[in-house]
Amino acid sequence: MPETAPIAVAMSGGVDSSTVAALLVREGRAAVGFTMQLWNQRRLPQLTGDGVGRCCSLDDVYDARFVAERIGIPYYVVNFEDRFEEKVVKPFVEQYLAGRTPIPCTLCNNFVKFDQFVELADSLGARQIATGHYARVEQDPRTGRYRLLRGRDEAKDQTYFLFGLTQEQLSRTLFPIGHLTKPEVRKLAGDLDIPVAAKHDSQEICFVPNGDYAAFLDAYLAEQGIPRETTRGEIVTVDGRAIGEHQGVHRFTVGQRKGLGIAAPEPLYVIATEPAAQRVIVGPDRDLLRSRLRASGVNWVSWAGLSAPVRARVKIRNKHVPAWATLHPTGDPAAADVHFDEPQRAVTPGQAAVFYDGDAVAGGGWIG
Amino acid sequence: MQRFYFDHNATAPVCPEAREALLPCLADVYGNASSIHHFGQLAKQRLEQARRGVAALLGCGPKEIVFTSGGTESNNLALLGALRPCGGRHVITTAIEHPAVLNTCAQIEREGGAVTYVPVGADGVVDPDAIRRALRPETRLISVMHANNELGTVQPVGDIAGIAREAGILFHSDGVQAAGRLAPPDTDLYAVSGHKLGALKGVGALRVRQGTPLANIQFGGHHERERRPGTENVPGAVSFGAAAGWAHAHRDAEAERLATLRDLLEEGVLARVPHARVNGDRSRRLPNTTNIRFDYVEGEAMVIGLDLAGFAVSSGAACSSGAVEPSHVLTAIGLSPRDARSAVRFSLGRDNDEAQVRALIDAVTNVATHLRRISAEAPAHA
């Protein structure tokens, strides 16, 4: 083991994590850089993408290695493909087939980046890990609990994807750029002479080229030799009238308007999908509104739990502006009933409901 | 930090003999070895001297040595050169070959040829009878590595050469790991790499027994007796000749010294780290190699942990990103994916000594103990 306890930095080759590594070096920390190889991009060759903005591409590894060399830290690429497929890709596919709209980034954070990576760090004598997420961690001096706070840059805040972190995981994590805005990070990267300071931001789901998740699903299932049951089905209105056909419920998500291929007097949206019956239910915008949801599998973060109804703001998708609601206990400590003050549009099964207490993530769970 | 190198099957440091022989090539000996004038002749002399050095190591005549860019090209030339045109022709190889052979075989299949990949037992050694049983009327070539790069296991190339001779077909062996460590076998084709022996990277050779029909796979000038076009890599070849000279002169003594060190390492690790096992046959092995699996430990984490402590070892093959790929060799000897991932290869070389080996045993014990403490699966007493 090295003389000083190292800190393991997750490096994607992008500007954020590169800046994190450089900042730690500037502070005199014994940083060790790692890139997690999560998915083999050559695996589904029919999904030809341009490779831009995808994870684990050789270009990103090249960039991360170059940054590590520039700032003078040891650097390794570690193969986490097995865990990623088991804990992220398979559930992603299963959820879509079950008519839900999953968030693989959260699963990746819970089970890979803050789990297998922490394990690896541990095994190398690193008590702490650092990542380039836009979020902050603070310990509450009164309760000793670790609080997860929104990143200072509202537009880049990533706490929606981090609500599943346990107290143990938070206690060991540093988000060194959480108090900065993206422009500040770019400027800092330039000042630190980081070669990727001007690199574009990554987009979309890292293992799905061009955001075409339906094509990914088809290619993955074909590779696994899993025959698809009939995917064609009916498009029906909320009052039960069949008004068209579709090519598979997994191609639709709640709130979607495009791709229905139906002419109607008023714009139609997907209200729900029923995978068992292969039905897609559509209706006008007002039918998308819901004033209640139940969050299950709740992980409590800044709060220890819920013993009485409490006010909070609740975010139901990454780009959603958190809406005021009252959280009600359900008897199950890992669930909460959310009653919104105003009905919310497109409450989507499979997405997360994340509860905010000011800037702090109180907790969050999955929309059933 | 003091660093020690135990990854000689990946590559070796440039040896002092090669360094010294190279110096003139970086100064006065710059001619094109194919030129008629004095400068060309000077380069040509060095090149041919190097060829004699490599030939001596491989137990063949200098005219049988074709210099190439390395082990991969040598294997490509041997396999494709012997098979093409591949349509309707058959080659027999094993499941534990290096990608330089396996992926060339895949190309042969794309070109219409047929390939039999003979499995190996848990000992990591192929059974010559299994090779014999794979023979077909259209079989043109048998290709079996002399020693495996991951396990170090030595293949029965003498017996297999006899099978090929009886069948009247060619026998090629990938000798990249064995050259300089084992006596050369009697094969029609034998691929070697310079840098594993202490030469520069970027030079290798293929022994082509006189009279062996071999098609070209590259096209250009008349170099290397029409077998391999391209301006001769004189500095590379010269370093190879010098490294081969040392390896040839010291082969048996060095093999004995390395085997003693390797056994010391293996016994030390097995005695101090519980749930550690050697992969592959321990009696038929390269003298410098041991492949050990540590239950409840990720080989990749072990390699990183040892590197941070100053010891260079390896685990499986690196994929294009630099991450460790699951080893096809370890799966071929019947290990589960999990067991295959817990393997670490130690390969010794000329610069290693007993003090380094003892330090390595300590480091392996420390890192393994630490990794086990972290692992959720490890039993309390591990």
pLDDT tens for each residue of A226-257: 877 667 888 999 888 888 888 888 888 888 88
Q: How confident is the model at residue B377 (pLDDT cuts 50, 70, 90)?
A: low
pLDDT of A123 reads 87
* C-beta atoms of B305 and A35 within 8 A: no
Question: Least CA distance to A59: which residue of chain B?
Answer: B321
E strand or H helix at A96? helix A90-97
B344 band by pLDDT with thresholds 50, 70 and 90 = very high
Going by pLDDT thresholds of 50, 70 and 90, the confidence category of residue A274 is: confident
Whether chain B has a CB inside 8 Å of the CB on A66: the answer is no
Q: What SS3 state is found at A311?
A: strand
Nearest CB to A124; choose among B305, B321, B323: B305
Contact by Cβ (8 Å): A320, A70: no
Which of B3, B302, B308, B339 to probe by mutation at the A interface, max A CB count within 10 Å?
Answer: B308
A51 has a pLDDT exceeding 50: no
Instruction: Please answer yes or no on whether B366 and A2 come within 8 Å at the CB atom.
Output: no
Q: How does pLDDT run across A278-292, given as a tens digit for each residue?
A: 899 999 888 999 999
Residue B377 with chain A: CB contacts under 8 Å: none
The closest of B314, B281, B309 to B299, measured between CA atoms, is: B314
Q: Is the pLDDT of residue B382 over 70?
A: no
Which CATH superfamily includes the segment(s) A229-283?
Adenine nucleotide alpha hydrolases-like domains (2.30.30.280)
Residue to mutate among A39, A42, A76, A111, with most B CBs inside 10 A, is A76
Q: Do A61 and B322 touch (CB under 8 A)?
A: yes
pLDDT tens for B295-327 read 999 999 999 999 999 999 999 777 777 778 779
Sequence-distant (6+) residues with CB within 8 A of A239 are none
**What is the helix, strand, coil percentage profile of chain A, to 5?**
30, 30, 45
Catalytic residue status for B319 = yes
Catalytic residue among A55, A56, A105, A108: A108
Within 8 A by CB and 6+ apart from B233, the residues are: B67, B69, B202, B203
Tokens of residue A242, six digits: 């069949």
Q: Is the confidence at residue A185, as pLDDT, over 60?
A: yes
- pLDDT tens for residues B179-202? 999 999 999 999 999 999 999 999
CA distance A144 to chain B (A): 25
Q: Which architecture does CATH list for A7-132+176-211?
A: 3-Layer(aba) Sandwich (3.40)
- Tell me what pLDDT residue B367 has: 94
Residues in a beta bridge with B161: none
- Residue-wise pLDDT for B135-168, tens only, equals 999 999 999 999 999 999 999 999 999 999 999 9
- Between chain A and chain B, the number of residue pairs with CB atoms below 8 A apart is 59
Q: Which residues of B touch A56 (CB under 8 A)?
A: 321
Q: Give the nearest partner residue to B320 out of A58, A65, A82, using CB atoms.
A: A58
- For the stretch B209-267, pLDDT in tens is 999 999 999 999 999 999 999 999 999 999 999 999 999 999 999 999 999 999 999 99
The pTM assigned to this predicted structure is 0.88
B323 chain-A contacts, CB cut-off 8 A: 37, 77-79, 81
- Specify the amino acid at residue A278: Q
pLDDT at B381 over 70: no
* Bridge partners (DSSP) listed for residue A326: A311, A339
Q: Which DSSP symbol is given to B8?
A: T
Judged on CB neighbours under 10 Å (0-12, 13-18, 19+), B207 is buried
Average pLDDT over residues A200-222: 82
Encoded tokens for B342: 């817990």
Q: Which of A59, A78, A112, A117 to mutate to test the interface with B (most CBs of B within 10 A)?
A: A78
Nearest Cβ partner for A124 among B1, B308, B324: B308
Domain A289-367's class?
mainly beta
Compare all CA atoms of chain A with the CA of B367 and give the residue at the minimum distance: A1
Q: Cα–Cα distance between B89 and B107 in angstroms, integer?
A: 13
Q: How far apart are CA B45 and CA B67, in angstroms?
A: 15
Binary contact (B321, A2; C-beta < 8 A)? no
Q: Which domains does chain B have, with CATH numbers?
A: 4-10+251-374 (3.90.1150.10), 16-247 (3.40.640.10)
Q: Which residue of B has its CA nearest to A74?
A: B308
> Domain extents for chain A?
7-132+176-211, 229-283, 289-367
Query: Rounded to whole angstroms, what are the CA distances from A4 to A11, A30, A253, B308, B359?
Result: 21, 7, 50, 11, 20
- B284 exposed, middle or buried (CB, 10 Å; 0-12, 13-18, 19+)? middle
